[in-house]
Amino acid sequence: FPGILSNPKLVLVQRSLNVVMNQNVTLSCCSASGSPPVRYTLFKHNQQVSSLNRSDSTPALFTLTISSASDVGPYKCKAEHNTSSDGKYSNSLNFTLIEPISKPVLSSPTSHTAKGQNVTLSCFAENGSLPITYVFFKGKQSISPPKMMHEREAAVIFLFVNSSTDSGTYKCKANNSFPNSMKYSNSFNFTLAEERSHSQALIISLGLILLLLVIGFALAIPFFIIPSYKASE
């Protein structure tokens, strides 16, 4: 009689359970104890995928193609002797399908600010597998540590506008576990309302000065023209 089979172990031959669309993966199923021959059967969602017979102690290798979200699992394998109706089941494995991220959008509740005010910047990639890591930049210099978001929500930073140089140009970068997935956002600049009000105040001041000069000249006319007219008579 064949030796009693132990529960088989289902492992991934590749390094990671994170996969991309149309990627080929290989699963290995093997019982540590039990006399061959052994039939190994792979299941996905309790439906049979494939079966292999092994006449020695080598593992059964199942190659799959992850072509849709339904192919991520869960997977299990069953080991059994042909002479026995009692099979042993393995652990369960699930893949995680990772998708590339879309171009992130950098935005703020307002594009106008003034010196001495606090403003917020948010960076958000609508598509892509989580988690997504965001980094904010002003020019080419990063202004925030990496912010890893495990939920589908924007990363936010707070800025204090202290001078005209704080108006921008800002960008953010987003990436996830998808290979070569890094994407940069649009550029964003703040408009300093204080600088605009200064220019307006200067124009208004010059206009008032000119108006006062005209009024003063008009008021001075009777004192200079009338006496000179009388003197000429």
- Hey, what domains does the chain have and what are their CATH numbers? 8-98 (2.60.40.10), 105-192 (2.60.40.10)
Q: What is the pLDDT of residue 197?
A: 47
User: What pLDDT does residue 198 have?
Assistant: 52
pLDDT in tens, 97-143: 889 999 999 999 988 888 889 999 999 999 998 999 999 999 999 99
134 contacts 104 by C-beta, under 8 angstroms: yes
Give just the sign of the alpha carbon dihedral 113, 116, 118, 119: positive
Residue range 142-163: mean pLDDT, rounded: 94
Percent of the chain with pLDDT over 70: 89
| 8 Å CB contact between 79 and 152 | no
Amino acid in position 78: K
| Residue 195, φ and ψ in degrees, nearest 5 | -65, -40
pLDDT reading at 196 higher than 50: no
Helical (H) or strand (E) element with 62? strand 60-66
Nearest to 162 by CA among 107, 113, 122, 112: 113
What token pair was written down for 191? 């408009």
Note the pLDDT of residue 200. 61
Is the sign of the CA dihedral 15, 20, 24, 27 positive or negative? positive
Q: Which pLDDT tens digit goes with each residue over 15-54?
A: 788 898 889 999 999 999 888 889 999 999 989 999 999 9
Q: How far is CA 46 from the centre of its chain?
A: 35
pLDDT of residue 145: 95
Supply the pLDDT for residue 230.
57
The confidence score (pLDDT) of residue 193 equals 74
Give the contacts of 172 (CB within 8 A, at least 6 positions apart).
104, 106, 121, 123, 134, 135, 136, 137, 155, 184, 185
Which pair of tokens denotes residue 185?
A: 């956002």
pLDDT at residue 203, as a whole number: 73
